[in-house]
Amino acid sequence: MMSMNIIDVVQCKYPGQIELGNVSFRKPENEILINEWNVPNIERPSELELEAEIPQYQRQFDVETFKKDIDFKVAALLDSTAQSRGYSDSQSIASYATSSNVQWQAEAQAFIAWRDQVWEHVYIEYMAIDAGGNIPNEDEYIASLPQIVWP
């Protein structure tokens, strides 16, 4: 998986604090230093203290990274699959589920059924990972997802 840094530790340990502007960093010459620390009721840790916590947060970071990446890759897979049939994206093809054109309706319904199968597989994998299971290789996992069967 990806290597963590102290920014990632802060995001895992103090979720939302960077986005709220309570923590900022500066990056001089291949270093990451805390620039500002205003986390309510939390004393500012040193960079060394945060680096020492990387092993503790590595799995959480890996899981979060995997889920974000898979969500993105599945969305891209859905869109590219719809585009392979001439639709602009996954939402476009799904909008034809009740079309009066029999072919478009059949394609949309096949797509929707497949899309649901794909996301069911993804969420089952997420539950297994959350329960302590191994984090699969992203590309191999995407390749293992159900394949669409067009009418």
Q: Which of helix, strand or coil describes residue 33?
A: strand
5-26: per-residue pLDDT in tens?
Answer: 999 999 999 999 999 999 999 9
Residue 62 φ then ψ, to 5°: -60, -40
Distances 9 to 16, 39, 44, 45, 57 between C-alpha atoms, Å:
12, 14, 13, 11, 6
1 pLDDT exceeds 70?
A: no
Q: Would you say 105 and 98 are in contact if contact means Cβ atoms under 8 Å apart?
A: yes
91-112: per-residue pLDDT in tens?
Answer: 999 999 999 999 999 999 999 9
Cα–Cα dist 24/8, whole Å: 12
Q: Would you say 26 and 10 are in contact if contact means Cβ atoms under 8 Å apart?
A: no
